[in-house]
Every structure is written in structure tokens, then in C-alpha cells.
Amino acid sequence: MATMAQEAARPVGTGVAAIRRHELAAFLRHRREHITPEQVGLPRGRRRRTPGLRREEVAHLSAVGVTWYTWLEQARDIHVSVQVLDALARTLLLDPSERAHLFRLADAVDPTPATTCPSVTPALRALLEQVAPFPACVQNSRYDILAHNSTYGLLFCDLDAVPPEDRNCMILCYTNEEWGSSIVHLQETRRLMAARFRASMAGHLAEPAWKMLLKRLRAESPEFREAWDRHEVVSHRTKRKEFRNRYVGRLTVDHTDLWLGPQTGPRMVTYVPADEESRERLEKLHKVARAR
């Protein structure tokens, strides 16, 4: 393992990796210089000459060493973990686009589900609402819920009350009691979801976001660990499902995935009523959601 002195001695270098490091360094400096102390809860003081934040302030707020952060702004060839990138993004008050840019420059995968994605355009959000009263959402292949209409927001639980980082169907199905109780055939659903997740993960084995989700599921759900260790795999397919909704009662729906690109990317998930009674109940649920 290289010592800190050895890390510091590495040449800045040339090539694609070096270009990324220079761009990352410039981006961090620019953002640091445009954040005021007051924005992050620090006193300005009388002798402040540095525009924005000092390097040591960014390092302290991000829980990293001052020397290490200085090397980062000098485009040194040092490893930057996703945890540190996440801390820097929070310290520098990056918006979603800036955060995504930070991770791209560091050649890293953001482990936090994005609240927006290139596939979730204003037009697609409008389409989700046009599909109502039928429940619909946009998910990625990792089951993160990227957008949803008002009916879907009350289908399993009050989704708007769930923190964005927890809006993942795998996590909710295995660990959220209200979500789980709304699924009539819960054990079978959990088994199939674990099998589909294993099939999808085969193409993402080295990606931190996938590994972190798997680690969390194994830590929080003994049932998931058991299902995962069976090594079962299945593909996505249309399936009739039954739910118990706390507002309108039992629902029978047909589940369909509408892919927004390659089948490794985001998809629109829709639930269409399988009978007239379910249609009427979904219309009622939509009215409840709109009245909130």
C-alpha cells in the first residue's frame, strides 16, 4: 500500500485520467470559492481573505484530511471513495446535476438513487399523470423509484413520506411493513424480486451502487439473504398481481414494464385493472391521492 508521501510524489501525468483529475480539481476549487461560510453554518470572521470557503473548512466539513483534500485540488493521482465524494457533494451544496458531474469526473458511480434521471423528462412526468387513475412509476434496473404518479404514491404506502434514498422497491418490499402487507402473495413476490435482481446484477457486479444495495438488503432482511443464497434467476415478465390497499381494499391488476431504452435501463411500470371492480377502486384511490 502506498504511503501518503508516495501518493503525494506521484506525477500529475497526462492522458484521460489526468484530464479528469484536472477537471475535478478545477470544479472543486470553483465550487469551494462560491460557497459562503454562512451557507454551511460557519462564522465569516474579520480576517477572511479567501473567496468562499477555505480548503481546511471543506476538509473539516467533509471529514477528510486537509493535506489529502489539498492534493485533490492539485489533481494528484489519489483514490477518491464514493463516501468521500458524497461528503464533498453535501459540503459544497451541489445540486443533482453538479453531483452527477462530480461523480463522472471522479470516474465513480453515485451510490445514492437520483431523484432525477435523463429519462425522466417533464413530458414523461406529464405522461405518468395522464396514465392516472392507473398507478405508474419509472424505475431503473436496480428498482430505484425515479418518478411516480399520485395513484402509485398511495398504492403500497405513502411513498412521499419515504426518504428519497429509501425509495427502492427491493428495500421497501423486504423491510417496510406497510408495503409488504399490501401485497397479497408476498412470499412469492419477494422470491421473484430477488431472482430478478440477481439476474440484473450480473451486468453490474463491480458497480458500488449495486454492491451497496446488496449489502444493505443482506444486512436488513434475513428473508432476502435466504432468497439470495438460492441463486435463482428469472427475467422480467408481465404478471397479474393482487394488492390490499388501505384506502380502497383489494385490487387485481396486470403489471407491465414499458422500457424507455435498452432493457438494462429505466422503464415505466404500469398497473392496469384486471376487472371492473378494481378499475372503480383505482379511480377512488386516485381521488384520495388528488385530495391530499
Cβ-based burial of 184 (10 A; exposed 0-12, middle 13-18, buried ≥19): middle
Distances in Å between the alpha carbon of 258 and those of 146, 205, 238? Answer: 14, 25, 10
Q: pTM for the whole thing?
A: 0.64
Domains and CATH numbers, the chain: 4-105 (1.10.260.40), 122-291 (3.30.450.180)
59-104 confidence digits (pLDDT tens): 999 999 999 999 999 999 998 998 899 899 999 998 877 888 898 8
User: Is the pLDDT reported for residue 272 higher than 60?
Assistant: yes
- Residue 236 sits at φ, ψ, to 5 deg, of -70, 140
Assess whether pLDDT exceeds 80 at residue 259: yes
Per DSSP, helices labelled H in 34-81 are 55-62, 66-73
Q: Are 173 and 241 in contact (CB under 8 A)?
A: no
Q: What is the pLDDT confidence band of residue 119, given thresholds at 50, 70 and 90?
A: low
User: Over the stretch 22-69, which tens digit does the pLDDT of each residue have?
Assistant: 999 999 999 999 998 888 888 877 677 777 899 999 999 999 999 999
* CA dihedral for 78, 84, 85, 87, sign (positive or negative): negative
Helices and strands (H, E) in the chain, number of each type: 13, 5
**How many other C-beta atoms lie within 10 A of the C-beta of residue 2?**
12
Whether the Cβ atoms of residue 127 and residue 152 lie closer than 8 Å to each other: no
Report the distance separating Cα 170 and Cα 159, nearest Å.
Answer: 14
Distance in angstroms (rounded) separating the CA atoms of residues 119 and 100:
14
Q: Peptide bond preceding 163: is omega within 30 degrees of 0, i.e. cis?
A: no
Helix (H, G, I), strand (E, B) or coil at 292: coil
> What integer pLDDT is reported at residue 118 of this predicted model?
57
Region 276-285: mean pLDDT is 98
Buried b (16+ CB within 10 A) or exposed e, 256-278: beeebeeeeebbbbbbebeeeeb
